[in-house]
Structure 1
Amino acid sequence: MTDIPARLTVVTLGARDMPGLRRFYRALGWEEVESSGDGWSGFLLGGVLLSLYPLEDLAAEAADGAPAPAGWSGFTLACNVDGPEQVDESFAAAVRAGAAVVAEPVERPWGGRSAYVADPEGNRWEIAWAPGAGFDDRGALTSFGA
């Protein structure tokens, strides 16, 4: 067992045009999860959630408000954990392993808890607990949201 689960659960793309990006992914035949809207949208793809989030809102959480052209790529990778306390434990483990602190663990307006770290290349990882997230025995995401 590791200090932080070896999971890739969510890939989030910062969207400059949420309605347009949602239309594109729906046009591919991908079904949005029930709680999707223009403030957040998700597509469950083979156990990984593709998440669309307004770029400015994502930048406020994961990049200290910096716009994507200022050196941040506009996307984050996420590792969802089993409970809110595990966010703090996994965050600490990532920092011990050499991750840079981007945002300390906090309760989020969407009802969960998360923190952000950057790997040595600056890629943003969110460590998150989301109510309603479910996993199979391998740790793959099997459900998300209410």
Structure 2
Amino acid sequence: MPMPSRLSVVTVGVRDLPLLRRFYAALGWAEIDGSDDDWTAYLVGGVLFALYPAAELAAEAGAEVPPTPTWSGVTLACNVDEADDVGTAFDAAVRAGAVPIAEPQTREWGGRSAYVADPEGTRWEIAWAPGARFDERGALTGFGG
């Protein structure tokens, strides 16, 4: 059987899990049962977003923890329902402690987006895309045309 075409869990290795738990709580995100300062997760639109100590994740994944947090070249995205929601969500994230990276703006690809970083530098794109469709859980069910 081939590997299924799905994304089930995104795990981010973090240095200060209590700090990140406070940040995501300030966004209003609900932790799943069993979350604590050793591992925590949030069910977001059908995907589990997990935070795990960076050293332990690196050991499992056969990697090394960089000496200082740096941008990995990966962004996570939260798509919103309307173009005007980008600015509202951006402002809410900054109030919760996110670092503003790029102010809301209309993009060449026809949508609108902004970027913030969580307190450890994980980049989040807050985006509105004209062809994005969601189910009642907020899971992406279609994109484009």
2: CA distance between counterparts of 1:29 and 1:79? 23
Q: Is the 8 A contact 2:77 2:124 kept in 1?
A: yes
How many Å apart are 1:71 and its aligned residue? Answer: 2.7
- Determine which structure has more spread, i.e. the larger CA radius of gyration: 2
Residues 1:110 and 2:109 aligned together: yes
CA distance in 2, matches of 1:134, 1:144: 6
The letter of the residue matching 2:86 is V
SS at match of 2:101: strand
Shift of 1:45: 5.0
Amino acid at match of 2:123: R
Query: Match for residue 101 of structure 1?
Result: 100
Tell me, which stretches of 5 or more residues in structure 1 are unaligned? 1-26, 31-43, 49-69
Residues matched between the structures, number? 86
Residue of structure 2 equivalent to 1:17: none
The Cα RMSD (Å) is: 2.1
> What is the Cα deviation at residue 29 of structure 1?
7.2
Instruction: Work out the percentage of aligned pairs sharing the same amino acid.
Output: 67
Residue 91 in structure 1 maps to residue 90 in structure 2: yes
Secondary structure at 2:84's aligned position in 1?
helix
Paired with 2:121 and 2:138, the residues of 1 have a C-alpha distance of: 25
Map residues 20-99 of structure 1 onto 2, 5 A cutoff. Answer: 30=5, 45=7, 71-99=70-98
The alpha-carbon distance between structure 1 residues 92 and 28, as it changes in their structure 2 partners (threshold 3 A), is: same
Q: Secondary structure at the match of 1:84?
A: coil
Structure 2: gaps spanning 5 or more residues: 9-45, 48-68
The answer (yes or no) to whether the contact 2:70–2:121 under 8 Å persists in 1 is no
